[in-house]
Structures are given as C-alpha cells and as structure tokens.
Structure 1
Amino acid sequence: MLMARTFGLIGYPLTHSFSKKYFTEKFEHEGVEGVSYELFSLENIGMLEQILHEHHNLKGLNVTIPYKIGVLKYVTDLDPAAAAIGAVNCLKINRETKTIKGFNTDAYGFEASLKPFLKSHHTKALIFGDGGAAQAVKYVLGQLDIPFLSVVRKKQEGSIGYDDLTGELLAEYTILINTTPLGTFPDIDACPEIPYAYLTPEHLAYDLIYNPEETVFLRRARLQGAQTKNGLEMLTLQAEKSWEIWNS
C-alpha cells in the first residue's frame, strides 16, 4: 500500500533504532493508517537532498548522531529553542511551501525527564561531551538556572578536561550528565573516565544512552550511592513531541 505520509530517521550509522520500533508500534496500537516510519542511513549529510527528492511523501524526520548540527544548512526556518541551542533533531517538511523547519525535541525530553529528580543540593552540573545532544542539555540547564561545566577530551575555552576532575570539584558539581556515546551498545564496556570514587548519594548521574539500560557510567555511579537515570524516558518524550510537531 502506498503510504500517504512517511516519516523517518537520519543518522550514521543506524545499527539499531529505537525510533523505528517505537513509531511502528505506535501506529499499530493507535490505529494510525497510511503512515510509515523509515530509517535513512546517510554516510554524509549531503545525501539528504537525494532522500528528499526520492521520497515525495516524506513529511518529517528525526535527526541523530552525527548530523544534529550539520543538518542546519538544509533548514529554512528554526524554532526559537532550536535556534538558541544551535542543533536540531526534528524536521517538519512542508512540500507546498517548500520549507523545512527545524526543532529540538531533545531539550523538551531532557528537561521533562530531569526535573523530577532534582533536589535542593543539585545546584551545579558537569556535562561530559560537547556534541549536538550536549547543546540541548546546556540550553535546558540555562533555562533552569543551573551553572554547568563541559568536560571534554580536548580542552577548549569554556571547558575542562577529564584530568581536571578533582574530589573538590565533584563535591561541588553534583549533577553528572553523559552526552557522549561512550557505553552505547555494542561497546558496552566503555564509559567516561572520571574519578567515580568521589561520587556520593548526593550525586545524580544522568546518561542520555538508553541501550544498554544501565551503562557502566550509571552502574559505577550507582555503586557509589548516586541516583541514576538513563535516556529512555527522554527518548520517548522527544519522540512524542516530534509526532505532535508533525501533526500540528
């Protein structure tokens, strides 16, 4: 059957996808007909033009690693939050007006899933990594008035290195957020190299990764008594927000 509307995910590599399974099951459970969700594994972002040309019924796309920033050059309009973040993970395609509007539903999903875990002593955050997902995290922390430091392998202005993480610093920064792919299936033994021995029950460790359910980062934090949260709820929330945007 010819689908009236197609949605999908672009990224590379797409070895496993939460999105396709989630949306396919959503369509089935909710009786949404004439709709499909496809995977478009693009070796380079320039291949997006061909996808748009070949799939005339394509109405919306989710964007994942490594194109959340690179895809901006194909966007004709930006949602204010996405403009402030400087990265998008959701595209709404309008064939009639020939426009592609960019949104960042990562920010919505992250904020909604983080807030219930915040306590009075969670006043400062460390963000591991500085890619597209990290930009959404920074935006949300800014909205919540939570100061943060970015921790990266190669120090730049405004960031620190992993070797700068001392017990004193970790006592002050009690929210730890992993935005790197370290620990993602199948490389499940990897994790950010931080001094886990300094973590305490005062800490909140949040990993944007959802597969595996508990990464090494989360496990090592939990064993120190820290509260932990993986990225599954964030992913579910951002997927639902994408669907809302595509149908608005």
Structure 2
Amino acid sequence: MPGTIDGQTRVTGLFGYPVKHTLSPAMHNAAFDQAGLNWVYVAWPVKPEALAGALSAVRALDMPGVNLTIPHKEAAAAYLDELDGLARLTGAVNTVVNREGRLVGYNTDAPGFTLFLQRDLNFPPAGRRAILLGTGGAARAVAAGLLQEGLDFLWLSGRSREKSHQLENELAYHFPGRTATLPWYDAGDRAAGAAWATALRSAGLVVQTTPLGMSPCIDALPPFPFELLTPGHLVVDIVYNPPRTLFLQKAAARGARVENGLGMLLYQGALAWELWTGRTAPVPAMRRALQSSHQSSDFGLQK
C-alpha cells in the first residue's frame, strides 16, 4: 500500500457481499506501490439493495473505478451508462471504469481465466472440450472466454435446469453448435450418469464456478461423478479460499491435475488495473502479493 494517503490519493476498490475473504487489496496495492502511484484499493461490503447507491458514489467521488464480485456481477449492468462487448456477451460485469462521469462496465474475468490457462497451466483452449459447473456471472465469463479462444465444445451444468438452458441458448447465438446442457449430476439418475460419462470421456477440462466449498462452508461441494476422472483431466475450481476445496481434494484423489482460482484472480485483476490506470500492470509484483497473502491468511480451515 502507498506509504502516504493524502488529499491526492485516488481510491479504487471492490464491491461485494461478503468481502472478508478477498485478496484483491493486497494484489492491487502492491501494484500501485510498484508503479509509484498514489492510489489505494479498499474492499467494501455492499449489500444488494445498496449497489445502486454505491455505484453512484463512484461517479460522485470521482473514483477511477471499482471491481464487482458476488452477488453484483449480473445486477450491476442496470446502473451503468455503457457496457463493452464482452460484458454484453456474458451479461456480467466485474470491472467498472469511470470515464469522466460515465460508468463503463467491463468483464475481465473471461480473458483473465483464459490467460491463466494458457500462461500458467499450458492449456490452450483451442480445439479442446470442457465441462462447466454453474450458471452465474463467473460461469458466463468463463464460458465466453473459452469459446472465444476456440474451445471446440462446452457442456454446461447448473442446479437450475432452466438457467442452464437459458445460458446455453445465449451462448449458442454467438457460438452455434458448440454448447450443450448436462443435467445437474444425480448418482441415482442412470440417464444423467450416462450423459456425464460420455462428456467426461471427451472433455479435458472441468471448471467449477459455483461458490460451493468457499470458506467458511468448506464441506460443501456440487455433486459430481469423481470416479470418472483420470490423470488426463485438468480440474479448476475458481474458489481460492480455501486453497484446495473439497471438490479439488476429491478430484486429486482420482489422479486429476487440480488448480484453484488464484491465477484467474491475478490476471483479471491485472486487466482491470490496466483499464483504470492506462499502464501495463506489474504482474510479477501482483503475483508475489497474492501468493504471500494466500499463504499467510487464515482461511478457517478445519482439516
């Protein structure tokens, strides 16, 4: 964090509810310090009913912008002046930029996730197949990012069949013939089990985007046929708190390669930082700050 906060300090931050778990302040403040900018990043717990007022404050206080997280990514669009193409495509906003009083919504989750896959995990999506769990703002961003990068096919699975089909239809408009819906897994449903077995034989990537398993509810996880995983699967849970969710633990026990969402957090944050400042983000400094905070934080782990 910058050494001095004074009358020239510019304030950015995160709107979400809750935000106690976030590592974003450490990452962004390390970047501001590295770049010599008199800026500061703060996390605000903004309840859903307060979102409109909080976004109005960005304009009123001449803030450069903010990040948005659960539960605001989809609701925010109604209160913004403009959306970029990817935010319109995904229906989700995670970064707001204040351009002389006009609030513009962006989605850096989508390119942030694919940068993480390609740069850190050596998994270029082009020509591959994947399964996505969840239908919320993060799921929409991951789906759009993968398909834009040339993913061959994507199976979507959400607890709500209606929301799953809605997301499939929206994506099919832009990426025809490359998406399908899988039922929310039920071990007692033989037809669902057969569909999952077929998908997992073809998919090399599984992405878990629901908040199930996030601290403090670390014993929660979405239903999944873990017995069908192999060492050929890459399993990513975008939750990073705790560092290894129960979902990842079970996937690793089957030999799958597993990763949490810290890398996605890094790259989406770097892209947001660049939108606010107009400078190239100091990614190594941001990565060091994230890793240090991740290792030292109390995630409420009970096992």
TM-score (norm: length of structure 1): 0.90
1:13 to 5, 9, 18: 18
Give the structure 2 partner of residue 39 of structure 1: 43
| 2:89 aligned partner, one-letter code | A
In 1, Cα distance between equivalents of 2:228 and 2:127 = 16
Any conservation in 2 of the 1:207–1:231 contact (CA below 8 Å)?
Answer: yes
Counterpart of 2:123 (choices 118, 121, 126) is 118
Distance 1:149 1:61, change over 3 A: same
Kindly indicate whether residue 71 of structure 2 is the aligned counterpart of residue 48 of structure 1: no
The residue type equivalent to 2:210 in the other structure is T
Cα deviation, residue 196, structure 1: 0.5
User: Structure 1 residue 170 and structure 2 residue 173: aligned?
Assistant: no
Residues 1:197 and 2:197 aligned together: no
Question: How far off is 1:147 after superposition?
Answer: 1.1
Given the alignment, which residue of 78, 90, 93 partners 1:85? 90
- Asked whether the equivalents of residues 52 and 58 of structure 1 are also in contact (C-alpha less than 8 Å), the reply is no
Distance in 2, matches of 1:150 and 1:104, equals 20
**Is the contact made by 1:152 and 1:162 (CA closer than 8 Å) also made in structure 2?**
no
Q: What's the CA shift for 1:178?
A: 0.3
1:194–1:142 distance in 2 versus 1, CA, 3 Å: same
Report how far residue 122 of structure 1 moved.
Answer: 7.5
Matched, 1:228 2:251: no
Structure 2 gap ranges (5+): 1-5, 169-180, 187-191, 279-303
Structure 1 contact 141–147 (Cα < 8 Å) conserved: no
Partner Cα distance (1:18, 1:120) in 2? 27
Aligned equivalent of 1:58: 63
TM-fit CA distance, 1:197: 0.9
Q: Secondary structure at the match of 1:210?
A: coil
Q: 1:50 to 1:75 in 2, by over 3 A?
A: closer
Identity of aligned residues (%): 34
SS in 2 for 1:236: helix
User: Separation in 2 of the partners of 1:217 and 1:3?
Assistant: 45
Q: What does residue 153 of structure 1 align with?
A: 159
Once the two structures are superposed, what CA deviation does each residue of 1:43-84 show, in whole Å capped at 9, x if it has no partner? 125443256338614111000001101000112111112221
The residue type equivalent to 1:114 in the other structure is L
Distance between the aligned counterparts of 1:29 and 1:154, measured in 2?
44
- 1:58 is paired with a residue whose SS is coil
- Higher mean alpha-carbon deviation, 52-61 vs 209-218, is at 52-61
What corresponds to 2:105 in structure 1?
102
Contact conserved, 1:188 with 1:215, CA < 8 A, in 2? yes
Between stretches 236-245 and 187-196, larger displacement belongs to 187-196
Check conservation: 1:201, 1:226, Cα contact below 8 A.
yes
Displacement after TM superposition at 1:104 (Å): 0.6
Unaligned residue ranges in structure 1 (runs of 5+): none
Aligned counterpart in structure 1 of residue 31 of structure 2, from 22, 26, 32: 26
Structure of greater relative contact order (alpha carbons < 8 Å, 6+ residues apart): 2
Inter-partner Cα distance in structure 2 for 1:212 and 1:222 = 15
- How far apart are residue 173 of structure 1 and its match? 2.6
Aligned pair count reads 245
Verify the 8 A CA contact 2:125 2:151 in the aligned structure 1.
no
Q: Distance in 2 between the 1:86 and 1:114 partners?
A: 22
Deviations 1:202-237 (A, max 9, x none): 111011111111111112111211111211111011
CA RMSD, 1 decimal = 2.2
* 4+ runs deviating over 4 angstroms: 119-122
